[in-house]
Amino acid sequence: MDNKLATITNLFEGKEIRSIWDSEKEDYYFSVVDVIAALTDANIPRNYWSDLKRKLIDEGSEVHEKIVQLKLKAKDGKMRETDTLDTKGIFRLFETFYTREKIEISSFLCYNLSRFKGDDPNEWK
Which residue has better confidence, 14 or 28? 28
Q: Tell me how many degrees the CA angle 33-114-66 measures, rounded to the nearest 5.
A: 40
Q: Which residues contact 44 (CB under 8 A, 6 or more apart)?
A: none
pTM: predicted TM-score of the whole model, two decimal places: 0.71
Residue 119: the pLDDT is: 54
Alpha carbon dihedral 101, 46, 31, 103, in 10-degree steps, equals: -10
Digit-coded pLDDT (tens) for 57-90: 888 888 888 999 999 988 898 999 999 999 889 8
Q: How many domains does the chain have?
A: 1
Q: Which helix (H) or strand (E) holds 79?
A: strand 79-86
Write out pLDDT tens, residues 16-38.
Answer: 888 888 888 888 899 999 989 88
- Domain with 58 in it: 5-123
3-state secondary structure of 2: coil
